[in-house]
Amino acid sequence: MAKIIYTHTDEAPLLATYSFLPIVQAYAGKAGVAIETRDISLSGRILAQFGIVDDALAELGALAKTPEANIIKLPNVSASVPQLKAAVKELQEQGFAIPDYPESPSTEEEKEIRAKYDKVKGSAVNPVLREGNSDRRAPLSVKNYAKTHPHRMGAWSSDSKTNVATMGHDDFFSNERSVVLPADDTLTIKHVAADGTETVLKDGLKVLAGEVVDGTFMNVAALRGFLAEQIARAKADDVLFSVHLKATMMKVSDPIIFGHVVQAFFPALFEQYGEQLAAAGISPNDGLGGLLSAAEKLPEGAAIKAAVEAGLADGPKMAMVDSDRGITNLHVPSDVIIDASMPAMIRIGGHMWGPDGEEADTLAVIPDSSYAGVYQAVIDDCRAHGALDPATMGSVPNVGLMAQAAEEYGSHDKTFEVPAAGKVQVVNAAGDVLIEHDVQQGDVWRACQTKDAPIRDWVKLAVTRARATGSPAVFWLDEARAHDANLIAKVKQYLPEHDTDGLTIEIMAPAEATAYSLERIRKGEDTISVTGNVLRDYNTDLFPILELGTSAKMLSVVPLMNGGGLFETGAGGSAPKHVQQLVKENYLRWDSLGEFFALVPSLELYAEQAGTPAAKVLADTLDRATGTFLNEDKSPTRRLGGIDNRGSHFYLALYWAQELARQTDDADLAAAFKPLADTLAANEQQIVEELIAVQGSPADIGGYYRPDDVKADAVMRPSATLNEALASLA
C-alpha cells in the first residue's frame, strides 16, 4: 500500500512538525493520501540500539531500496560526542534504562556499549536513506522572491584582511591514494608497527567491481606546526582566529583535529596541566567548554581556568559563537560547522564576531586543502568585485554524488587515530597491498568507498538536469587529487552513454569551478555544480546562503536508484538557537518553507504510486499556495509580537485551503475545502491573536532531545480556533 513516511527528527524541525504535520494529515486524509511517521531522532536511534524502541532507521533503510519508497526527511542532529552525552543524560533522567557513554572503554561490555553509541554519532541517518543521488535547487518561487525582496549582504572592502589558511601538504588531499577494484573482493585495513606487529583495524570490507576505494591520512606533526603558524599569523595580522571543521558529519577525524587546535591555541595550559586533564578523562576533542566544565571538579580547577584566560589574552583575538556569553570558536566542536559558518562569514562582508561583540576580519583555518580553495575563491572574488547582489545574481544548483554512502569519509569505522609509528595498509583477499602509507603515532588515517553504480547514476542525473535547464553542468573534480582522477576517468567513460548534443558539460578543479560559477553568477546566469558528497554538502549551503539568505529554502530531491523518492526539507544548522528561544520565550523562528517544497514532489510521487489523482491536486494547489505564502511574506518574523513558525503554518493552511476550494480538477475536494477556507479566512485575526498571545513566557516541552509529545503538542498548537477548524475536516 502506498504511503508517505514523515520522519520524526530533532530540535527545531521536530518542534515545527508538531504544528505542521496535523495540517498535512488533515488535508491529505481528505484526499485519501496515507501519511505515517517514523522516529529517526537522535534519541530514537539511541533507544533503538538498546532494544527499547523499534529501529525505524533500519526499516526506512530497507524501504529506500524499493520502488515504493516515499520519504519526507527532516534535518537531524549530526551528533557530536557532547551532544550524544547530553542526549544520553536526558534519556536517563526521563527514566530510560540506558548506560552511560563509555569515554575510554576497557571491558568487553564497555566496548560493546561504545560500539552501539558509535552507530548513532554524526550523520548516521544520511548514508542509510540516501539510496540515490542528490538534486538540490532553489524553486522558481523562492528565486523570484529573493530577487524582489533581497536579503541584506554585508559590504566587502578591497583591503579586507580576511583569508583562508590551509595546509596544502601532509594533509588528506596530498596524501590520498585511490584504486579502482577490478572485481568483487573483500578488503582488510591493517596497521603494521615498526617492529612488524600487525593489527587489523578493519576486516571483512566487501567491495564491488568498479568500486573506487581511497585511503589517506593527515600528518599530525605537520598539522600542529601549521596551526602554530596560523595562530601567530592571526595575531600579527590583527584578525580574528577561527577554525572551520565538520566535527558532526566527520565524527571521527574532525573532533581529533579540533582537539589539536585547542591544544595549539593553549600550549602553556597543556604543557602544565595536560597530564592531569588526561588522567581525569578530559579530552580537548570535546572543546574548551567541556574542558572548563569538567576541570571545575579537579583540585587544579582554578589554576586551569586561569591558564585558559591567560591563553586567550596572549593569543590572537578569537572568533566567537556568542560573545555575550563568552562562547568561543573553540568551545564546542559542533558549534562551528564549516558549511554554515563560512557562508555566513562571507555573507556579512568577510567578518566574524570578536570578543568585543563587534565584527572583524578573520583568518579562517581549514586544515585540509581538499576544498579550502573554494572558500578562498569566493573571498577573492568579493574582495575584488564587492558583495554579490541577491536581486540580480544567478544560481548554482547542485547534483551531488552520495548514493550508497559514496565518499562518506572521516565519519565511520574506516577512520582511525594511528596507534603507533609504522604503516597502514589496505590489502585485498589475495594478500596484495592496494594502498599503503607510512604513518606516525597520532596521525589521522581514513578510507572511503564510492561504488560504480552511483557514479553512473550521478553522471546520468547531471546530464538530465543540464538538458532540463539548459545551464552548463560542471563536474568539480581535480585531476591532481587521486580520488578525483579516478572519478574523471569514469565520468569520461559514462558521458557518451547520454545525448549531450547542445549541452555544455565541463570538468574543473573546485577552485577553478568556483571562479567560473561566480563569473556567471554576477551576470545573472545559472551553473549546475556536479560534485562529490562532501562538496555537495558545502555547496548546497554556500550558494543558497549568499543567494537566498538561507539554505532552508532549497528543494532537495533524491531520486532513489530503485525508483522511489526521498525528499529532504532543508538544513538544520540554526536549529539549536531556535529551540533555546522557544523554551525561553515561546517563540519559534524556524522556517518550514523547505518542508512545503518537499511535500509537493512527494505528493506527486504518491499520485503515481497509488493511482490517486487527488494527491496530484493536493500537490498543485500546495505549490500555488506556497507562491502566495512567499508573496504575502508570511515566513516567521524576527522578533516577538509577530507570527512565528506556528503562524506561518496557519497562513500556509489558509492559502492551501483557498486554492483547493477554487480548483476545478476535483469537485469533491473543492466542496470539502470551501467551508474550511471560509472559516480560516473569517477567523484569521482570532487565530493570529491566539498564536501570538502565548509569546513572551517560558515554554515547557518536556525535553530537548526527546520532548514530551503532550507538552510539545500543546506548545506548538496553541490556537483552539485553528485546531477546531482542522478537526472539522474529519
Tell me the mean pLDDT in the region 68-89: 91
Residue 175 annotated as lining a ligand binding site: no
Residue 429 annotated as lining a ligand binding site: no
Calculate the alpha carbon distances from 448 to 199, 426, 500, 597 in Å.
19, 11, 31, 32
pLDDT tens digits for 90-108?
999 999 999 999 988 999 9
Residue 130 annotated as lining a ligand binding site: yes
pLDDT tens digits for 384-410?
999 999 999 999 999 999 999 899 886
Q: Angle at the Cα of 181 (from 176 to 183), degrees rounded to 5?
A: 170
Residues of the chain above pLDDT 70, percent: 99
Residue 124 annotated as lining a ligand binding site: yes
Residue 624 annotated as lining a ligand binding site: no
Flag whether 287 is in a domain.
Answer: yes
Q: Of 160-164, 220-224, 291-295, 463-467, which gets the smallest average pLDDT?
A: 291-295
Q: Are strands 528-531 and 473-476 parallel, antiparallel or unpaired?
A: parallel
| pLDDT confidence of residue 334 | 84
Q: How far apart are CA 514 and CA 611, in angstroms?
A: 43
Flag whether 326 is in a domain.
Answer: yes
Residue 578 annotated as lining a ligand binding site: yes
pLDDT band at 573 (very low <50, low <70, confident <90, very high): low
Of residues 288, 348, 283, 286, the one with CA closest to residue 315: 288
Residue 76 annotated as lining a ligand binding site: yes
Residue 8 annotated as lining a ligand binding site: no
Q: How far apart are CA 168 and CA 186, in angstroms?
A: 33
Calculate the alpha carbon distances from 392 to 151, 344, 395, 474 in Å.
12, 19, 10, 22
Range of the domain at 260: 163-172+219-385
Q: How far apart are CA 332 and CA 287, in angstroms?
A: 5
Flag whether 397 is in a domain.
Answer: no
122 pLDDT higher than 80 = no
| pLDDT confidence of residue 379 | 98
Which cell numbers in the block locate residue 614? Answer: 487527488
314 pLDDT higher than 70 = yes
Which cell numbers in the block locate residue 98? Answer: 540506558
Flag whether 262 is in a domain.
Answer: yes
pLDDT tens digits for 495-527?
999 999 999 999 999 999 999 999 999 999 999
pLDDT band at 143 (very low <50, low <70, confident <90, very high): confident
Q: For residue 424, give every residue at least 6 positions away whose Cβ sits within 8 Å of its Cβ, in sequence order, or none.
A: 189, 190, 191, 192, 201, 215, 217, 416, 418, 436, 437, 439, 445
- The answer to whether the CB of 160 falls within 8 A of the CB of 586 is no
Q: How far apart are CA 713 and CA 729, in angstroms?
A: 19
Residue 276, judged by CB atoms within 10 A of its CB (0-12, 13-18, 19+), counts as middle
Of residues 626, 660, 646, the one with CA closest to residue 690: 646
Of residues 60, 62, 64, 3, the one with CA closest to residue 563: 64
pLDDT tens digits for 646-694?
999 999 999 999 999 999 999 999 999 999 999 999 999 999 999 999 9
Q: How far is CA 342 from the centre of its chain?
A: 14
Residue 591 annotated as lining a ligand binding site: yes
Flag whether 299 is in a domain.
Answer: yes
What angle in degrees, to the nearest 10, is found between the helix axes of 533-548 and 372-385?
A: 20
Residue 332 annotated as lining a ligand binding site: no
| pLDDT confidence of residue 608 | 95
Number of domains forming the structure of the chain: 1
> What's at 297, amino acid-wise?
K
Residue 645 annotated as lining a ligand binding site: no
DSSP string, 298-313: STTHHHHHHHHHHHHH
Flag whether 371 is in a domain.
Answer: yes
pLDDT tens digits for 411-453?
678 999 999 999 999 999 999 999 999 999 999 999 999 999 9
Q: How far apart are CA 148 and CA 684, in angstroms?
A: 26
pLDDT band at 4 (very low <50, low <70, confident <90, very high): very high
Residue 703 annotated as lining a ligand binding site: no
Residue 75 annotated as lining a ligand binding site: yes
Q: How far apart are CA 108 and CA 100, in angstroms?
A: 15
Residue 662 annotated as lining a ligand binding site: no
pLDDT tens digits for 191-250?
999 999 999 999 999 999 999 999 999 999 999 999 999 999 999 999 999 999 998 778
Q: How far apart are CA 7 and CA 187, in angstroms?
A: 35
- Please report, to the nearest 10 degrees, the dihedral formed by the alpha carbons of residues 518, 524, 527, 529 taken in order: 50
490 pLDDT higher than 70 = yes
Tell me the mean pLDDT in the region 24-44: 96
| pLDDT confidence of residue 410 | 62
Tell me the mean pLDDT in the region 3-30: 96
pLDDT tens digits for 636-647?
998 899 999 999
| pLDDT confidence of residue 585 | 96
| pLDDT confidence of residue 686 | 98
Residue 339 annotated as lining a ligand binding site: yes
Which cell numbers in the block locate residue 426? Answer: 589496505
Residue 123 annotated as lining a ligand binding site: yes
Of residues 218, 191, 216, 188, the one with CA closest to residue 204: 188
Flag whether 517 is in a domain.
Answer: no
| pLDDT confidence of residue 130 | 83
Residue 125 annotated as lining a ligand binding site: yes
CA atoms within 13 A on the CB side of 464: 12
Residue 51 annotated as lining a ligand binding site: no
Flag whether 157 is in a domain.
Answer: no
